[in-house]
Amino acid sequence: MLPYVTHDARFARLVFGHANLEKLTSGCRWAEGPAYFPAGRYLIWSDIPNNRMMRFDETDSSVSVFRSPSFNSNGNTTDHEGRLVTCEHFMRRVTRTEHDGSITVLAEQFEGRRLNSPNDVVVKLDGSIWFSDPTYGIDSDYEGQQTKSEIGASHVYRIDPAGGEISLVVSDRVQPNGLAFSPDEKLLYVADTGATHVDGLPATIWSYTVRGNKVAEPSLFSTCPDGLYDGFRCDIHGNVWTSAGRSVFCYAADGTHIGTIPIGEIVANVCFGGPQRNRLYICGQTSLYSIFLNTRAAV
């Protein structure tokens, strides 16, 4: 039985009939934020309620604790120098782990008010760091610490690579969550999981035209038929591989849902890894999965 469902002929060119969905490890409470480090051939991801970050080694399939406590870390990525960039719910900040292991705080306030709980993060080719800031880490003590929002809304921000200034780039979403750039960086995709706070609000992904250090012209990219979108990444062809309820959906760049990989538990996030960047790592709620694809990461 194939580990995926093809809805469009374009998807058949992106998968292998003999590549299995692999369950690599389990035991998490809420697995999130996978980030791949090619120099060491390992993956880092967050286990938010357990207040730790985990590490999967591709060379021997071993699993270990990378950081504990992690301040309820959520989204992770790497910058262009191979450093770990992390969103921390408990500390309500974005940090960078330097090569010597020290921690640099990149963002913790906007216009004098503390951030909500940075959630997902991406790095643009110009070195700027873009992150979403919904309220999930301050909504309860399960993923952070319950408190009121000082900002009073949830936005997407940009950290300037030269001076570190923080600017607001997306302000029209209820709970902005997952982020990704298209391969040419002309589009910023933003998931809105505001259905967790507003009854009847559709679960959506929006695309924004990128104009320098700002965005404009939001357009509805897709609506999730069941559950929520959360984290996602683009491949080299511009396809969007996204968490979608209990599955991974693949959307073509034109917004067509072309394929589904059923996982069997709620999916939080994905990223590409492996020496060829053609291994899709998938964070389910409790477990880490992977599947090899006939495509690779956009960058």
252-262 residue pLDDT tens: 999 999 999 99
Residue 202 in this model has a pLDDT that exceeds 80: yes
220-231 residue pLDDT tens: 999 999 999 999
* Residue-level pLDDT at 74: 98
Question: Computed from CA positions of residues 136, 140, 144, 148, in that sequence, does the dihedral angle turn out positive or negative?
Answer: positive
Nearest to 196 by CA among 156, 143, 139, 237: 139
Classified by CATH at the fold level, domain 5-292 comes out as Neuraminidase (2.120.10)
Nearest to 107 by CA among 83, 81, 86, 80: 86
Residue 1 in this model has a pLDDT that exceeds 80: no
* Model pTM score: 0.97
Q: Which residues contact 136 (CB under 8 A, 6 or more apart)?
A: 74, 89, 117, 119, 143, 144, 175, 196
Average pLDDT over residues 207-219: 95
75-95 residue pLDDT tens: 999 999 999 999 999 999 999
CA distance 156 to 187: 14
Residue 269 in this model has a pLDDT that exceeds 90: yes
239-253 residue pLDDT tens: 999 999 999 999 999
Question: Computed from CA positions of residues 206, 185, 180, 276, in that sequence, does the dihedral angle turn out positive or negative?
Answer: positive
Q: How many CB atoms lie within 10 A of CB 131?
A: 28
Task: Say whether 230 is catalytic.
Answer: yes
CA distance 14 to 277: 13
Phi and psi angles of residue 257, each rounded to the nearest 5 degrees, phi first: -75, 105
Helix (H, G, I), strand (E, B) or coil at 98: coil
* Per-residue burial over 57-70, b = 16 or more CB atoms within 10 Å of its CB, e = otherwise: ebeeeeeeebbeeb
Kindly indicate the confidence band of residue 55, based on its pLDDT and cuts at 50, 70 and 90. very high
Average pLDDT over residues 202-219: 96
CA distance 42 to 44: 7
Which residue in 133, 139, 230, 235 is the catalytic one? Answer: 230
Residues annotated in the binding site for substrate, as ranges? 119
CA 122 to chain centre: 8
Which own/partner pairs from 93-99 qualify as long-range (CB within 8 Å, at least 24 positions apart)? 93/118, 94/118, 94/121, 94/129, 94/131, 94/159
Sheet with strand 240-244: strands edge to edge: 5-6, 257-262, 247-251, 240-244, 229-234
* Residue-level pLDDT at 75: 98
158-197 residue pLDDT tens: 999 999 999 999 999 999 999 999 999 999 999 999 999 9
Residue 299 in this model has a pLDDT that exceeds 90: no
Average pLDDT over residues 25-37: 98
Q: What percent of the chain has pLDDT over 90?
A: 99
Domain range summary for the chain, segments of one domain joined by +: 5-292
For residues 108 and 91, the answer to whether their CB atoms sit within 8 Å is: yes
* Residue-level pLDDT at 217: 86
Which own/partner pairs from 292-296 qualify as long-range (CB within 8 Å, at least 24 positions apart)? 292/16, 292/19, 293/14, 293/15, 293/16, 293/19, 293/235, 294/13, 294/14, 294/15, 294/16, 295/14, 295/235, 295/236, 295/237, 295/239, 296/235, 296/236, 296/272
99-157 residue pLDDT tens: 999 999 999 999 999 999 999 999 999 999 999 999 999 999 999 999 999 999 999 99
Residue 2 in this model has a pLDDT that exceeds 90: no
Kindly indicate the confidence band of residue 204, based on its pLDDT and cuts at 50, 70 and 90. very high
Residues annotated in the binding site for a divalent metal cation, as ranges? 32, 177, 230
Average pLDDT over residues 43-70: 98
CA distance 281 to 271: 5
Residues annotated in the binding site, as ranges? 32, 119, 177, 230
